[in-house]
Structure 1
Amino acid sequence: MDTGLPEVGKTLSVVAANVGSRLPDVSRDIGEHVLAEIPKLRGDEPVLQLLRASVAENVATLLHVLENDIPLDNVEGPTAALEYARRLAQGGVPVSALVRAYRIGHWRFLQWCLEELHGQGVEEDLSAATVWRMLTVSFGYIDQVTEHVTELYQLERDRWLLSRTAGRAARVREILAEQEADLDWAESALGYRLGQLHLGLVAWLPVLTHDGGGLARLDRLTSAIAEEMNCSARPLFIPRDEASCWAWLPFGSDGEVSYERLCGVVEDGDPSTYVCAGRVEPGVEGFRWTHRQALRAQELAAASSSGARFTAYSRVAPIALMCTNIDDMRIWVRSVLGLLAVDDEPCARLRETVRIFLDTGCSYTATASRQILHKNTVQYRIRKAEEAIGHTVHEQRTDLEVALLAVQYLGPALLTPSRS
């Protein structure tokens, strides 16, 4: 299909000119379609006016490109589109809504153009070549503009978060330090209710990014978690620096939390982000407790060899509290595990089987199923592990479970180096 023929350019130019003659109607229709599909974009009137201006300028620019065969390298993002991206960043509207608006608006724009082309009654081969060029140019334009506004959104979101939360961060530090504070005034300053159930989070990027979008990425992740957890209101998000934040999820009076779902959001989201969570705790004291718990979990995650991107304090509380003194913890773990505390593959297999065995209520069948082993193999491994420990796994069971959990997270730091 030769899309470079002069007839193709002429046909596309006529289509663009005719659609452009109805620019107000086309722009209004696309804007209404975008708002109908994306309710999150329905803001106050000044923001809606910016959306309409952004749509109109994008439509006009793309029609000029199609009508006059303007190279995309010579095209810059419309001013209204850039300002609209800034406003959405300041208003906390997810960047995904902005990107989706461009996709939906593009599709509606193409419908207008395709209907106009159909009305021209051109022959089939010319029509197909014209559609091909129309799609190629318009997708190139949308891709270019979307990349530009997304980058601007991320930069503005970081700047806005840092400037807007300076005062809120000071109020939070006062509350965490247990200083005397007027709670009504603090709630008003924070935009967050303290007399409810909270879940504290600590989130960070281990490597500082150079795109200036670190805080925006953490903010998006926090919002995604809050949405998945069905929080009663928007979370409280407090930047710590360009690559880390503290957050509190509001749960009102309902403290039912699925850490599996929370973990799923983290694991399925931005692969460079890490999150630690406290327990759900009530009131002002709970606001402090759940935050401290998340910090303890972060200390463990930083020392851990597990590579987990999500750590829940409720699952690792004993280890998180113990890891403040690694030397004493190492001595204790080795005393509990005995010869099973060697950092080699055979001992690692035995430790994993014992851990699952205890976790399944000492069921050989369930352990075999979890590890995809024969039941006799599990029995053999448990027997070998007991020989290494010096007693049965049922004796001092609590100590054994905690020691195995510690090794699961801290690994070689607690074990005796292999002689090999």
Structure 2
Amino acid sequence: MEATEETTGRRADRARMPAAARSLADRIDARAMSARVLARVLHEVFPTRAGDEEFLAALDESVHDNVQAVLDVIAGRLRIAAAEPVGAIALMDVLARLGEPTSSVERGYRIGQWEIWEQWVAAARDAAGDDAEALVPLLLEPVRTLFDYIDSILMTVLERYEEHRRELDRARLHQRMLMLRQILDGSHEPAPADAATTLRYDCLLTHRAVALVADDRVAAERALERLRLALEAPDGLLHQDSVHGWALWIGRATPPSAAQQRAFRRELDALGLPAGVSDPADGFAGLRDTLHQARQALRVGQALGVRTSWFADVRLEALLLGEEEQAATFVRSVLGPIGGEDERSARLRETIAAWLETGSHVSAAAALGVHEHTVRNRLRQAEELLDAPLAQRRTELSVALRLRRVVT
């Protein structure tokens, strides 16, 4: 009968392993050894999981599978390459779900390896008795086998662990995006505790949203962290709004101090990124409202060429831009002959804006750096072109001048 690769390899393993070591492996109680390994790994690596029955069951199965496999390899019943640690793979799925780091997985295996070796050495000493020469074959090849097995299995389980972590991350990201999308479109409002778990953000805080233009997620995450720290806020939430558009929420339970607000403004300026900033608002509705405001502020700011735009400063433009075509029609109808791009029209609009803002010819002249008579003459020209007294149209003119910066 032709020998298979597996049987050939097994014979080679048995040939290297001394008969005394194979015999000792047959006599060791795998369940008793694994119980001691389990206790040590739990105590030194996962002490906080001692009360988790699901975790304990998975860890116990993994430890026993590995201990039994090591003894089977030493006894010549199994090749390392053929070992299939089902329990160890299952434990990796549990550890990934629990969010345990890779370092814990590696440390658990190394401590388990050391505990197996200590127990093997004790059993070998008992078997050899006072015969020092008999102890060597009981230790040399078995320790090499133990290390080879752990190295091989550790590579297998870490690959599985990383694969499962990636799967979980994708699933969590999808669930997170779905929940946030439902909150923002108003189709579903989850329980606050469920939202906090999934989004990792307390939706019941008072939020301030920032609509930001950034090249990638790394830049957006860095911006969120800097702004969150500036406001000394416990929570922050990030959402990709478009290809290069990001929505950032920063939540606080209490209003920020004046110093924190100044730090927030400084950080926004230091980011050097186009941004729109909302007013603060509370709860789930606040998430929706602040995002809408931040988007509007960003839009107006980009139209005006302003890097950081605050909704409180462009509230009027944002309101009227809800119907952009009507806003443009309003601007044309109010400004009429002084709404063009020519130099005279621009000069007249500048003068009217200064007059409206300062409230007097003298103050407007000072603001513009011209003589008071120049202001009077320009305002008179504007009245003739508009065929109406400016004083009677203050509101319309003020709104039209502000809107013109955005819609033209």
TM-score (norm: length of structure 2): 0.51
Distance 1:181 1:163, change over 3 A: closer
Q: Which amino acid aligns with 1:399?
A: E
Distance 1:240 1:286, change over 3 A: closer
SS at match of 2:280: strand
Shift of 1:293: 1.6
Shift of 1:277: 1.8
Residues 29-48 of structure 1: CA deviation (Å, up to 9, x unaligned)? xxxxxxxxxxxxxxxxxxxx
Q: Is the contact made by 2:192 and 2:202 (CA closer than 8 Å) also made in structure 1?
A: no
Q: Is the contact made by 1:279 and 1:293 (CA closer than 8 Å) also made in structure 2?
A: yes
Shift of 1:242: 5.4
SS at match of 2:390: coil
Q: What's the RMSD between the two structures over aligned residues?
A: 3.2
Q: 2:86 matched to which residue of 1?
A: none
Alignment size in residue pairs: 240
Q: 2:202 matched to which residue of 1?
A: 193
Q: 2:181 matched to which residue of 1?
A: 173
Q: Is the contact made by 2:328 and 2:404 (CA closer than 8 Å) also made in structure 1?
A: no
Separation of aligned partners in 1, 2:404 and 2:170: 39
Q: Is the contact made by 1:296 and 1:313 (CA closer than 8 Å) also made in structure 2?
A: yes
Q: Which amino acid aligns with 2:329?
A: I
Q: 1:297 matched to which residue of 2?
A: 297
Q: Which amino acid aligns with 1:181?
A: P
Q: Which amino acid aligns with 1:174?
A: Q
* 1:327 counterpart (325, 328, 342): 325
Q: 1:369 matched to which residue of 2?
A: 366
Residues 58-82 of structure 1: CA deviation (Å, up to 9, x unaligned)? xxxxxxxxxxxxxxxxxxxxxxxxx
Shift of 1:350: 1.8
Distance 1:341 1:298, change over 3 A: same
Gaps of 5+ in 1: 1-160, 414-420
Alignment of 1:32-111 (within 5 A): none
Residues 7-54 of structure 1: CA deviation (Å, up to 9, x unaligned)? xxxxxxxxxxxxxxxxxxxxxxxxxxxxxxxxxxxxxxxxxxxxxxxx
Distance 1:274 1:386, change over 3 A: same
Distance 1:294 1:391, change over 3 A: same
Q: 2:247 matched to which residue of 1?
A: 246
Q: Is the contact made by 2:213 and 2:244 (CA closer than 8 Å) also made in structure 1?
A: yes
Residue 224 of structure 2 corresponds to residue 222 of structure 1: yes
Q: Is the contact made by 2:276 and 2:299 (CA closer than 8 Å) also made in structure 1?
A: no
Q: 1:15 matched to which residue of 2?
A: none
Q: 1:403 matched to which residue of 2?
A: 400
Q: Is the contact made by 2:203 and 2:284 (CA closer than 8 Å) also made in structure 1?
A: yes
Residues 117-156 of structure 1: CA deviation (Å, up to 9, x unaligned)? xxxxxxxxxxxxxxxxxxxxxxxxxxxxxxxxxxxxxxxx
Separation of aligned partners in 2, 1:375 and 1:259: 40
Q: Is the contact made by 1:197 and 1:255 (CA closer than 8 Å) also made in structure 2?
A: no
Separation of aligned partners in 2, 1:201 and 1:399: 31
Q: Which amino acid aligns with 1:236?
A: L
Shift of 1:237: 1.7
Shift of 1:165: 4.9
Q: Which amino acid aligns with 1:219?
A: E
Shift of 1:347: 1.2
Separation of aligned partners in 2, 1:287 and 1:256: 21
**Higher RCO, 1 vs 2 (CA within 8 Å, ≥6 residues apart):** 1
Residue 252 of structure 2 corresponds to residue 237 of structure 1: no
Shift of 1:289: 0.9
Separation of aligned partners in 1, 2:235 and 2:245: 19
Q: 1:340 matched to which residue of 2?
A: 338
Q: 1:203 matched to which residue of 2?
A: 212
Shift of 1:245: 1.0
Distance 1:196 1:318, change over 3 A: same
Q: Which amino acid aligns with 1:322?
A: L
Q: Is the contact made by 1:198 and 1:280 (CA closer than 8 Å) also made in structure 2?
A: yes
Separation of aligned partners in 2, 1:375 and 1:231: 49
Residue 378 of structure 2 corresponds to residue 387 of structure 1: no
Separation of aligned partners in 1, 2:198 and 2:229: 23
Q: Which amino acid aligns with 2:318?
A: A
Separation of aligned partners in 2, 1:277 and 1:255: 15
Q: Which amino acid aligns with 2:326?
A: D
Q: Is the contact made by 2:274 and 2:298 (CA closer than 8 Å) also made in structure 1?
A: no
Residues 227-283 of structure 1: CA deviation (Å, up to 9, x unaligned)? 44x24324222234552211112232316789887665444433xx21112221222
TM-score (norm: length of structure 1): 0.50
Distance 1:263 1:407, change over 3 A: farther
Distance 1:253 1:336, change over 3 A: same
Structure richer in helix, relative to its length: 2
